[in-house]
Amino acid sequence: MTGNEIRKKFLKFFQDRGHLMLPSASLIPQDDPTLLIIGAGMAPFKPFFTGKMKPPATRITTCQKCVRTGDIENVGRTARHHTYFEMLGNFSFGDYFKHEAIAWSWEFLTSPKWVGLDPDRLYPSIYLDDDEAFEIWNKEIGIPEERIFRFGKEDNFWEHGAGPCGPCSEIYYDRGEKYDPDHIGERLFFEEMENDRYVEIWNIVFSQFDCDPTIDRKDYKELPHKNIDTGMGLERITSIIQEGETNFDTDLFLPIIHATEELADVKYAEDKMAYRVIADHIRTVTFALSDGAMFDRAGRGYVLRRILRRAVRYGKNIGIDKPFLYTLVDVVVDNMKEFYDYLPEKAEFVKEAVKKEEVAFHKTLSQGEKKIKDVIAHSD
């Protein structure tokens, strides 16, 4: 299954179950001064969760473009960090709650009609005292008690600054012995050791509180109704289905990686980190600029400038010493235009802006290098 097919299947599954499918909201937050950029599938729906606005339907499904830069230093270093990713989600605004959300996630992942993962490789986790979720997993879905993990820590309470939040239940997938060289097994999961074997694939948030970061969690106010907010990273589920070693080894990234190989002195296998940084960052820049963001000295534009400059630096590591990122924009657009059909009409503008920014950065870098050389030459 291709990444495009997985995205389509997810949305169809929830449409068949009464959800209205909405297009991804822009990465640029609308009427939300608390956010620089959209970083979660639920972010555009905050007013629907809190009851401030009436949603167009009480069940919605989306594939939301997201940008998160908090972990940027890990991008390329790990199998699963990205600055740009797509979040598949199903949402209930005062409609269904735990039973349906859990049952549907299980059906989508395990039914051969949909994704067809081996149920014995899936492990749910729940929030410490969430006996209701425990009972659903155990009695209704039939997962043995010893395979359900009560985390009881921050990991299983989802909040993202002020706004809707709640306890959550996550689903993990066991990628097998191959990713467990020391044969540690389930302890990796239950003792929360850093590992590439058990990976979280789906987060089901029982969104029922309103987070106020200035007060204690136990004092959060209840939202006017109980909601569901789920998130499954498209890149992650794609890497599991396509059995990629990392998220980057899937058809969502490989076309960009192969196009970069044409320009570089070394192959992907020789410097995976550089290739992954470049592939990730050019996706971020292409989507953000297509949504109307622009490089700048402050705010969102500065974040984008840092991302582009990081990609330029990694390009140098693999022998690309001239502007090149702009040539990858078309590869991103071609790979993504089936779902994001507005991308081709933005491509020329994005390419020009990226090229201009690259040229300016190369100039800054060579001026800097010249200055350093001068200092060294006059230092004795």
Interface with ligand SER, residue 42, by CB under 6 A? yes
Interface residue with ligand SER among 29, 41, 315, 323 (CB under 6 A) is 41
Enter the tokens of residue 371. 């200055």
- Among all residues, whose Cβ is closest to ligand SER? 231
Dist CA 2 CA 250 (whole Å): 8
Dist CA 256 CA 77 (whole Å): 17
CB of 220 to ligand SER, least distance (A): 16
Dist CA 92 CA 225 (whole Å): 10
CB of 228 to ligand SER, least distance (A): 9
Interface with ligand SER, residue 323, by CB under 6 A? no
> Residue 157: beta bridge partners?
167
Taking alpha carbons only, the member of 276, 306, 268 closest to residue 288 is 306
- Contact in structure between 233 and 172 (CB atoms under 8 Å): no
Enter the tokens of residue 192. 């929360």
Mask: binding to ligand SER, 346-365, rule CB under 6 A, as x and -? --------------------
Q: Assign residue 294 a region: left if phi > 0, alpha if psi is -120 to 50, beta otherwise?
A: beta
**Residues 149 to 188: which contact ligand SER by CB under 6 A?**
158
Interface with ligand SER, residue 230, by CB under 6 A? yes
Taking alpha carbons only, the member of 248, 197, 240 closest to residue 81 is 248
Interface with ligand SER, residue 40, by CB under 6 A? yes
CB of 17 to ligand SER, least distance (A): 17
CB of 66 to ligand SER, least distance (A): 8
Interface with ligand SER, residue 11, by CB under 6 A? no
The interface region with ligand SER, picked from 34-42, 119-127, 261-269, 319-327 by CB under 6 A, is: 34-42
DSSP reduced 3-state for 8: helix
Exposure on the CB side of residue 38, measured as CA atoms within 13 A:
26
The interface region with ligand SER, picked from 35-43, 51-59, 133-141, 215-223 by CB under 6 A, is: 35-43
Exposure on the CB side of residue 248, measured as CA atoms within 13 A:
25
Interface with ligand SER, residue 67, by CB under 6 A? no
The interface region with ligand SER, picked from 2-10, 229-237, 248-256, 286-294 by CB under 6 A, is: 229-237
Dist CA 223 CA 214 (whole Å): 17
The smaller minimum CB distance to ligand SER, of residues 89 and 323, is found at 89
User: What does the binding site for ligand SER look like in residue numbers (CB under 6 A)?
Assistant: 40-42, 89, 158, 203, 205, 229-231
